[in-house]
Amino acid sequence: MPEKPTVRLFDRTTPPHIVTLVLLSGLAALSLNIFLPSLPAMTAYFATEYRVMQLSVALYLATNAALQLVIGPISDRYGRRPVLLWAIMGFLLATLGCLLAPTVEVFLLFRMAQSVIVAGMVLSRAAVRDMVDEAQAASMLGYVTMGMAMVPMIGPAIGGVLDEAFGWKANFAMLLILGGMVLAICWADMGETSSTTGRSLRAQIREYPELFSSRRFWGYVLAASCASGVFFAFLGGAPFVGTQVYGLSPSQLGLYFGLTALGYMGGNFLSGRYSVRVGLNLMMLGGTALTTAGLALALGLALAGATHPLTFFGLMITVGVGNGMLLPNATSGMLSVRPHLAGTASGLGGAIMIAGGAGLSALAGALLGPGSDAVPLLLLMLASSAASVLAALYVMHVTRVKGPLPGPS
């Protein structure tokens, strides 16, 4: 592999600095979760039902998934930099639309448009894989997402405080300001990392079967999809559980959300520190096993009648740590199966992950209603986590048969 070029901050003739990659991913993550403590207030503002307002998460994720199918191939053709700049500008316009929306229908339409910022998450991953090999990519992705986790860790807490002080619209005003800042930083620092192919989008999409034929690609994608599905189900159901089951205020709910993100940051640190030494597959299996054990304990406590919110939210730290260990390694694996299709693999794999997340988020909202406790949500999360364990074991089986990356898969 060619020697990695020198990276200089705010020099777009060199590859992007890690700080820029963190901010790009962080803005994409923050746009998903900063307003979650405000969902009950937004439901009242638009005079609608919680299940309708909760679609602001599910529809965002569904549109997010659809966009990832084309963002990767487009960036493989035209480059990471121009796609990122256009995506951030589109995000700013959509955020302004959310602020000015007169009805819940208009709000949801602009909320779906906001999902274009997923380019920041997809292409920051692809840029890492452009720059280093698969083992180094897992380590670097661990550090990138550890830094990124600091943003959504405090996002819901800040969102809850903003909601109580100024109303729910303050969350979207903050996204507008932060989006403008990230656009300026990306313009100044985001050097191109991809050797563009010049092939048409149709030609890029025709390469999907090359990924579809890889059993190892499917193993990594399914492990990541089921693990992230646990988190998305949590996002869909935890606002209801926090407010209706445990009686938390928006600011308290935001702080409890931070526990999961704190765990995620810890898991990302472990990935950055140990992925090269331990290997992608063992890190994946350890992460998803930890999540499954934590959820099983939380379910047992809920069935036993535990009433303190920490018996639910406290054990969500294991979801964060487990995902922080699994996702960087699974992502590096899916991008490394066919390195020349890194952008396409990032988009396709991400689309599958997010589509599953959208379904689980919507299902979590549908399972919870008047009189519900945390048990239905915990059962859904535990089932998804157990499926991730099976997928990680499948990847290890394929690796034993076919050999390590970058061998045939």
Reference 267, options 253, 288, 292, 281; nearest CA is: 288
Structural domain for 333, as ranges: 18-195+204-402
Q: What angle do CA 207, 345, 318 make, to 5 degrees?
A: 155
As a whole number, mean pLDDT of residues 172-199 equals 85
- pLDDT tens digits, one per residue of 21-56: 888 888 888 888 788 888 888 998 999 887 788 788
d(CA 89, CA 227): 31
Helix H or strand E segment including 126: helix 118-131
pLDDT interval class at 248 (50, 70, 90): confident
Residue 56 domain-assigned (yes or no):
yes
- pLDDT tens digits, one per residue of 71-91: 877 887 788 889 999 999 999
Tally the domains of the chain: 1
As a whole number, mean pLDDT of residues 129-155 equals 67
Residue 7 domain-assigned (yes or no):
no
Residue 3 domain-assigned (yes or no):
no
- pLDDT tens digits, one per residue of 109-124: 999 999 999 888 888 8
d(CA 333, CA 346): 10
As a whole number, mean pLDDT of residues 207-216 equals 79
CA-only gyration radius of the chain, Å: 20
**In this structure, what CATH number is given to the domain that contains residue 327?**
1.20.1250.20
Residues 88 and 117 sit within 8 Å (Cβ to Cβ): yes
What's residue 55's pLDDT?
85
Q: What angle do CA 190, 22, 328 make, to 5 degrees?
A: 115
Residue 77 domain-assigned (yes or no):
yes
Residue 239 token pair: 């606002």
pLDDT interval class at 409 (50, 70, 90): very low
Residue 33 domain-assigned (yes or no):
yes
Residue 223 domain-assigned (yes or no):
yes
d(CA 37, CA 344): 34
pLDDT interval class at 360 (50, 70, 90): confident
- Compute the Cα dihedral for 236, 294, 265, 142 and give only its sign: negative
Residue 273 token pair: 């520190």
Task: Share the mean pLDDT of the chain.
Answer: 84
Residue 10 domain-assigned (yes or no):
no
Residue 409 domain-assigned (yes or no):
no
What's residue 391's pLDDT?
95
Of the ranges 124-138, 259-273, 295-309, the best mean pLDDT one: 295-309
